Chains A and B, each alone.
Chain A
Amino acid sequence: MTAVELAGITKRFPGVVANHDIHLSVRKGTVHALVGENGAGKSTLMKILYGMQKPDEGTIAVEGEQVTFHSPADAIGRGIGMVHQHFMLADNLTVLENVVLGSEKLYGIGGRARRKIVELSERYGLGARPDALVEELGVADRQRVEILKVLYRGARILILDEPTAVLVPQEVDALFANLRELRAEGLSVIFISHKLGEVLSVADEITVIRRGTTVGTAIPAETSPRQLAELMVGSELPTPETAESTVTDRPVLAVEDLRLVAPGGKALLDDISFTIHEGEVLGLAGVEGNGQTELIEALIGLKGADSGTITLAEEEITSWGTRRRREQGIGYIPEDRHRHGLLLEAPLWENRILGHVTEKPNAKGVWLDIKGAQEDTRRIVEAYDVRTPGIDVTAASLSGGNQQKLIVGREMIHKPRFLIAAHPTRGVDVGAQAAIWDLIREARREGLAVLLISADLDELIGLSDTLRVIYNGKLVADADPATITPEELGSAMTGAASGHLENEELVEQLEEQADAPEDEAR
């Protein structure tokens, strides 16, 4: 019995075909994973299934019956529920209130609703506390509230969009236990992810989507992660691992006792100290919202430190403004390129000027050097493989990966001494990802110091020379990327472990075969 059947779905957007001839069949009572890289078209497909967008071609059948959705309300009416990647909860309301909000007609807002919530929570092992305020809940609990919300509305088919992106490994296991409960009760789950290990462990069936179309299905028991990955990428996988260490003993950036306090008095950053040397990549691991954004803003000069010092190449820069810091060699790849890295409606060459307006070749004295900037933009476009028909098109008309390559090129061409790279490959296709990794590696060989912040633990472990873990605004642990595993890093990210992290088995192994090159040990 199929719960959902999508056939021949095609969806065109300006400039691109987001989905093309998609076929997806989800059996009832199974967890069906939809995997593909960032930008492969997974989210668009799910928006179509959830009624947020209408397909240009193709059909949708729910439990054998052909349907057309005009809005999410239609989809909900058919028993389809969606748990979004970004939670949509009101922080200042209780779990009960959040669940009932918008569906007051179903079970009222009083005792009946509460009984229903408790019943659902018990049946599926969600452990919800109806009277807890959502703002007091952790990320994993919030996610369970989202799932509860969907179930409360009578969903029989759940779509989970990248549910593990915000979770640490231990929480992921708990989520998977919940999913198995749901499956046991006969519900169907569509699980969207690009993390292969997770998919193989939880899914009954896997559909792979690549460049907007479904390229194959797989049964986890018969598939290796490597096979799945190659199906997903369509070619050999790049790896982020760096070959040899280039770390020197010349400090480039030194942060000492940095402290940043929120208006209410809560410390956003506390007692942060670290040094990055020439040729060193310092990886910062942490669940989002633990102070990474504040640290970046303090380093680039958008927020002033409440105490502590920042030193760039033996010069104290704590009191410098953003412009002076950038002029003196701090490169910045922002975590949100649309908000902090680009002027979307300006042409590429103006975006090339952004952030470096006082520097050559963009300016001569107080005047802009438009010719110089345009010529240099052409150079960047060619050298960094930004795929565009020209430099006069707006930044908004480029794909995410090409926007990112433009930003990376812009920062690198000014030969920074210290680079802040926040999620440098987020939302970027695999080709661009490999290219960006190469660029960081190359610059590091030439003596660049890098602070790498990423949610992708493989990227962190692979690129970094040193790892630090940030939790609640404090650096709680450090680790050697050559010996650490993502799971260990994950437990430190929840605050469960601190100090120097070591994988004992691995260290023993290494000691036994002392001649083995370090980074192959992983």
Chain B
Amino acid sequence: MKKFDKERLLLAVAGPVIALVVAVALTSVVLIASGKNPIEPYTIMFEQASFSDIQVLIINQASLYYIAALAVAIGFRMNLFNIGVDGQYQLAAMMAAVVGAHANLPAVLQVPLLLLTAVFTGAFWSGIAGVLKVTRGVSEVVATIMLNAIATSVIAYFWLPSVFGVKVGNNNTTGEMHESGWIPGFDMGAAGEIYGLVVLAALLGIGYWVVLNRTRFGFDLRASGASETAAAASGVNPKRMVLTAMLLSGGLAGLAGLPILLGDSHTYSLNFPTGIGFLGIGIALLGRNNPTGIAFAALLWAWLDKASPELDFHGYDKEIAVIMQGLIVIAVVVSYEAVREWGLRRQQRRVGAELAAGHVLGANAGTSDNNTSKEVAGR
């Protein structure tokens, strides 16, 4: 049965490759339409990727994207659309920054405290949407979008000097965190430092895969995503599963801002990166909710981000990268659906052909009688 496995791999790769090719082609069309060279921007950006300082930036940025995308993906796996990752990670990062600035424990306690603060804040924020969905039937899409807006206001409130805020010049911050909560990075010499929590991102990816594919809970979650009705009939409590998945997604989301918070900025200020939750949606889509796929997608996104500023110096607009990101997301959605349908049909055809040829599991070839081997497939 190896050939069905190989085929699955082929299908898994075909979707993103088609999407990327289409997106590049369309971006080139945009470049031609604006009277620019359609090839040169790519060569410039590729060249950027060969510089070690840019590579460090890419990896650091990708770690944030990766965690945010995992958070989105866990929702996707059970048909929940957590648009609120953005609010969840910002609020969680701010809470961690506040705790880090006020508590001062030894590092072995301080770091876990900060991580847990972030996880619980994110889970709490997404849990509100989960509870609303389970008890009142409110769509999680609407609830999480609203919660994003509320999170922005909450953050603005916490920034008030009378609450947790510390003004540094014109910047709002939460004050510098105690050093016991800082996480040292990997020193790359002149190229800079890779965040220590990049390791956490990798571990989360492994954990995501193990939980989803190797545990009973993961099976229930995937079953709920594949068919809510079949999962319920199989014994999954749909409400509990919705709530659990929302909490997990939010908890993961809470960690998305920490690599930069604990590794570099050490405070939650106006400069803290925003919008990572939304980018995570596109990255999770491109990565097909698969931890390896998401890793590649996160690196691709980070590369587009970090290599594009150079374009400005060559007479191109760096927004080309943004156009490309948008086109990738659109192309991904279309190409995945097309590849999925094509793969399903192709497999049906092949199964039909194999059965007709008498390749039936457990039956010796040739012994299958004519009556049954020509059966008509019901869909």
Whether A366 pairs with B232 at a CB distance below 8 angstroms is no
A235:B371 contact, CB within 8 angstroms = yes
* Closest chain B residue, CB of each to CB of A44: B376
B346 → chain A closest CB, angstroms? 7
Residues in A whose Cβ lies below 8 Å from that of B235: 301, 321-327, 355, 357-358
Contact B345 A14 (CB under 8 A): yes
CB-nearest residue of chain A to B359:
A389
The answer to the question of A427 belonging to the interface, with a C-beta cut-off of 8 Å to chain B, is yes
Q: Which residue of A lies closest to B376 (CB)?
A: A39
Least CB distance, B247 to chain A, in whole angstroms: 18
Contacts of B5 in A (CB 8 A): 392
Cα distance A356–B4 when bound, in Å?
25
A179 → chain B, closest Cβ, in Å? 28
A382-B368 Cα distance, complex, nearest whole Å: 13
A399 at interface, CB cutoff 8 A? yes
Select one of A41, A235, A393 contacting B347, CB under 8 A.
Answer: A393
Known A-B contacts A40-B376, A343-B223; the reply to A367 vs B216 at CB < 8 A is yes
Q: What's the least CB distance linking B244 to chain A, in Å?
A: 14
* Bound-complex Cα distance A398 to B361 (A): 13
Check if A492 is an interface residue, CB within 8 A of chain B: no
A-side contacts of B378, CB under 8 Å = 39, 399-401, 403, 427
Task: Confirm or deny: B354 has a beta carbon within 8 angstroms of a beta carbon on chain A.
Answer: yes
CB pair A429–B223 under 8 Å, yes or no, is: no
Asked whether any CB of chain A lies closer than 8 Å to the CB of B348, the reply is yes
Say yes or no: B376 contacts A211, CB within 8 Å: yes
**Interface membership of B132, Cβ < 8 A:** no
Interface size on B, residues (CB 8 A): 50
Does the CB pair A343–B227 fall under 8 Å?
Answer: yes
Q: Is the CB of A390 within 8 A of B361?
A: yes
Contact for B233 among A234, A340, A427, A429, CB less than 8 A: A340
Q: Which one of B348, B350, B360, B374 contacts A211 once the chains associate, using CB atoms below 8 Å?
A: B374
A256–B232 CA distance with the chains assembled, in angstroms: 25
B355 close to chain A: CB less than 8 A: yes
Query: A345 — which chain B residues lie within 8 A by C-beta?
Result: 226, 340, 344
Is the C-beta of B229 less than 8 angstroms from some C-beta in chain A? Answer: yes
Chain A's nearest CB lies how many Å from the CB of B222? 8
B4 touches A392 (CB 8 A): yes
Indicate with 1 or 0, residue by residue over B199-219, a CB within 8 angstroms of chain A CB atoms. 000000000000001111111
**Max count, chain B CB within 10 A of own CB: residue among A39, A343, A402:** A343
Tell me, in angstroms, the Cα distance from A39 to B375 when the chains sit together: 9
A388-B361 in contact (CB<8A): yes
Query: In the bound complex, how far is the Cα of B215 from the Cα of A367, in angstroms?
Result: 4
Within 8 A of A (CB), among B339-379: 340, 344-355, 359-362, 368, 371-379
B211-270, CB < 8 A from A: 213-220, 222-223, 226-227, 229-230, 232-237
- Return the contact of B223 from the options A300, A354, A363, A431 (Cβ within 8 A): A354
Is B1 an interface residue when CB atoms closer than 8 A count as contact?
yes
Query: Across the interface, do A397 and B376 meet the contact criterion of CB distance under 8 Å?
Result: no
CB proximity of B315 to chain A, nearest CB, Å? 48
Q: Which of B237, B345, B377 has the most CB of A within 10 A?
A: B377
Residues on B with C-beta less than 8 A from A398 are 351, 377
A354–B216 Cα distance when bound, in Å, is: 10
B210 to chain A, nearest CB (A): 9
Minimum-distance CB pairs A-B, first 5: A15-B352, A400-B378, A323-B235, A382-B362, A390-B1
**12 intermolecular pairs with C-beta atoms under 8 Å apart:** A15-B353, A39-B378, A40-B376, A235-B371, A300-B233, A323-B236, A340-B233, A366-B216, A366-B217, A392-B5, A394-B344, A396-B348
For the complex with contacts A322-B234, A399-B376, 14 further pairs of A-B residues with Cβ separation under 8 Å are A13-B377, A14-B345, A14-B346, A16-B375, A16-B376, A302-B232, A322-B233, A339-B229, A363-B216, A388-B361, A396-B347, A397-B347, A399-B375, A403-B378
